[in-house]
């Protein structure tokens, strides 16, 4: 990453607050890495030697139970930050759901750099608080909402997240899911049968269209928001 000024997520990533000189220093610390779909970048409970900005693709944050069951606790998109600055062990695994590109940094070097740049620390804090808000929302989603409310809430969230990356034109109405229905079911704590049934019902009611297995078109956003509770 010799030239951060050409980075495709430059204006949205945590390093957006840095000036040209600071970006040049940070650029020499980072390297671009391709992560194939299904490849794990960080393992839950292991030492986390790196942190990274997501440049392209979608990755999941997941934790596992003692018997090996997995729960997806977060999804990261382009311009999101992954890893644990100022920490040691990773509290979750980070695995690519699609082919992804990341700008990766040695954690110790990044910590030392961030320690002398207050604006970058504030960006990290704001990102952390945003993630905390999403985690609280997800707790309510998983614990209190019905299956139809879960699916509607999830689709609205994904359309909003993707809209920031030029992936969802027409006022967030049309977008392509970066993962399949089984993964949606895993995220929401539902069976794939229940997930498919809810999507079929929404299509029958005219709330959305499903032109393909991954493409979603929200026809009636107000109705979906009402369905999401």
Angle between helices 192-204 and 147-163 (to 10 degrees): 80
pLDDT in tens, 96-115: 988 999 999 999 998 999 88
Distances (CA, A) of 145 to 137, 154, 216, 222: 11, 11, 22, 18
Angle of CA points 187, 188, 190, to nearest 5°: 115
Compute how many other C-beta atoms are within 10 angstroms of the C-beta atom of residue 173. 17
The pLDDT of 84-90, averaged and rounded, is: 83
Query: Residues 74-78: contacts with CB within 8 Å, 24+ apart?
Result: 74/131, 74/134, 74/135, 74/138, 75/161, 75/187, 77/161, 77/162, 77/164, 77/165, 78/8, 78/9, 78/12, 78/54, 78/165
Q: Which domains does the chain have, with CATH numbers?
A: 4-127 (2.60.120.10), 145-227 (1.10.10.10)
pLDDT of 69 > 70? The answer is: yes
pLDDT in tens, 112-136: 998 888 888 888 888 788 877 777 7
| Strand, coil or helix: 87 | coil
pLDDT at 168: 41
Report the alpha-carbon distance of residue 162 to residue 157 in Å, rounded. 9
The pLDDT of 145-163, averaged and rounded, is: 87
pLDDT in tens, 8-62: 887 788 888 788 888 888 888 889 999 999 999 999 988 889 999 999 999 999 9
pLDDT at 166: 43
pTM here? 0.78
| Strand, coil or helix: 34 | strand
């Amino acid at each position: 990453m010799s030239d951060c000024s050409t980075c495709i997520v430059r204006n949205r990533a945590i390093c957006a607050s840095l000036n040209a000189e600071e970006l040049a220093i940070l650029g020499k610390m980072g390297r671009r890495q391709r992560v194939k779909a299904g490849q794990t970048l960080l393992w839950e409970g292991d030492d986390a030697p790196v942190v990274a900005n997501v440049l392209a693709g979608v990755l999941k944050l997941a934790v596992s139970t003692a018997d090996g069951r997995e729960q997806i606790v977060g999804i990261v998109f382009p311009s999101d930050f992954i890893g644990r600055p100022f920490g040691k062990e990773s509290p979750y695994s980070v695995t690519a759901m699609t082919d992804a590109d990341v700008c990766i940094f040695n954690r110790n070097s990044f910590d030392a750099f961030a320690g002398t740049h207050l604006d970058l620390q504030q960006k990290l804090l704001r990102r952390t608080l945003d993630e905390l808000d999403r985690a609280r929302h997800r707790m309510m989603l998983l614990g209190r909402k019905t299956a139809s409310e879960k699916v509607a809430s999830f689709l609205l969230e994904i359309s909003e997240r993707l809209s920031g990356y030029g992936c969802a034109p027409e006022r967030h109405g049309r977008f392509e899911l970066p993962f399949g229905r089984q993964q949606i079911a895993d995220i929401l704590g539902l069976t794939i049968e229940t997930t498919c049934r809810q999507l079929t019902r929404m299509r029958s009611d005219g709330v959305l269209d499903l032109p393909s297995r991954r493409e979603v078109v929200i026809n009636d956003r107000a109705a979906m928001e009402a369905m999401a509770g």
